[in-house]
Structure 1
Amino acid sequence: MVAVLLAACSRPEPAAEPVRAVRTTVVGAGVAVGLNEFSGEVRARVESRLGFRVGGKIVRRLVELGQPVRAGQVLAQLDAQDLRLGQDSARAGLVAAQANYDQSVADLKRFRELRSQGFISAAELERRETGLKAAEASLLQARAQSSVQGNQTSYANLEASAAGVITGVDAEAGQVVGPGTPVVRLAHDGPRDVVFSVPEDRATWVRALIGKPGALSIKPWGRTQSLPGTVREVTAAVDPVTRTFTVKADMGKADLTLGQTVAVQVEAERATGAIRIPLTALIEKSGQSSVWVLDSSAMTVRLQPVTVGNIGADTVVVSSGLKSGEEVVTAGVHVLSPGQHVRRYVVASAAVASSASSGAHHAGAQGSAR
Structure 2
Amino acid sequence: MNYEAKMFGRQERLEFTGEEPRRSRRWIWITLAVIVIAGVAAFFLMGRHSGADKGAADKGAAAKQNQSQLPTVTVASPGRATVETIVSGTGTLAARREMPVGVAGEGGMVTRVLVEPGSWVGAGQVLATVDRSVQSQTAESLAAQVRVAEADARLAQSELDRAQKLVGGGFISKADIDRKTATRDQANARVRVARAQLAETSARNRRLDIRAPAAGLVLTRGVEPGQIVSSGSGVLFRLAMGGQMELRAQLAETDLQKLRAGVQAEVTPTGSTKVFKGEVWQVSPVIDPQSRQGIARIALSYDPALRPGGFASARIVAGGITAVMLPQSAVQSDATSNYVYTINDKNEAVRTPVTTGEVTEAGVAITSGLTGSERIVLTAGAFLNPGQKVIPAVQKK
| Structure 2 match to 1:234 | 282
From the superposition, tell whether residues 324 and 192 of structure 1 become closer, same or farther in structure 2 (CA, over 3 Å): farther
| Structure 2 match to 1:277 | 328
* Alignment partner of 2:239 out of 159, 170, 186: 186
Q: Does 1:264 align with 2:318?
A: no
Structural mapping, 1:1-370, within 5 Å: 31=81, 32-40=83-91, 43=94, 46-60=97-111, 62=113, 66-71=117-122, 74-160=126-212, 164-169=216-221, 173-178=227-232, 182-189=235-242, 192-203=245-256, 205-207=258-260, 210=262, 215-221=263-269, 222-224=271-273, 226-231=275-280, 233-235=281-283, 237-238=285-286, 244-251=294-301, 256-259=305-308, 261-270=312-321, 272-273=323-324, 275-277=326-328, 309-312=357-360, 325=376
* Structure 2: runs of 5+ lacking an equivalent: 1-72, 342-353, 381-397
Residues 202-237 of structure 1 deviation map (CA, whole Å, 9 limit, x = unaligned): 455422x52xxxx42414235556444344x22573
- Which structure's CA Rg is the greater one? 2
Distance 2:317 2:266 in 1: 9
Distance 1:83 1:264 in 2: 56
Letter in 1 for 2:195: R
When normalised by structure 2's length, the TM-score is 0.54
Residues 119-158 of structure 1 deviation map (CA, whole Å, 9 limit, x = unaligned): 3321331232132123212212321321231132122121
From the superposition, tell whether residues 178 and 94 of structure 1 become closer, same or farther in structure 2 (CA, over 3 Å): farther
Q: Contact 2:97–2:240 (CA<8 Å) still a contact in 1?
A: yes
From the superposition, tell whether residues 124 and 223 of structure 1 become closer, same or farther in structure 2 (CA, over 3 Å): same
Letter in 2 for 1:248: I
| Structure 1 match to 2:19 | none
| Structure 1 match to 2:58 | none
* Structure 1: runs of 5+ lacking an equivalent: 1-23, 294-305, 330-370
Distance 1:282 1:88 in 2: 89
Distance 1:282 1:224 in 2: 37
When normalised by structure 1's length, the TM-score is 0.57
From the superposition, tell whether residues 224 and 197 of structure 1 become closer, same or farther in structure 2 (CA, over 3 Å): same
Distance 2:117 2:105 in 1: 26
From the superposition, tell whether residues 307 and 224 of structure 1 become closer, same or farther in structure 2 (CA, over 3 Å): farther
From the superposition, tell whether residues 178 and 85 of structure 1 become closer, same or farther in structure 2 (CA, over 3 Å): farther
**Partner SS, residue 217 of structure 2:** strand
Residues 222-267 of structure 1 deviation map (CA, whole Å, 9 limit, x = unaligned): 5556444344x2257326677524423354x667534353533324
From the superposition, tell whether residues 225 and 150 of structure 1 become closer, same or farther in structure 2 (CA, over 3 Å): closer
- Report how far residue 274 of structure 1 moved: 5.7
Letter in 2 for 1:56: G
Distance 2:113 2:205 in 1: 18
Letter in 2 for 1:187: A
From the superposition, tell whether residues 107 and 200 of structure 1 become closer, same or farther in structure 2 (CA, over 3 Å): farther
Highest relative contact order (Cα 8 Å, sep 6+), 1 or 2? 1
**Partner SS, residue 259 of structure 2:** helix
Q: Contact 2:103–2:229 (CA<8 Å) still a contact in 1?
A: no
Letter in 2 for 1:77: T
Aligned pairs, how many? Answer: 288
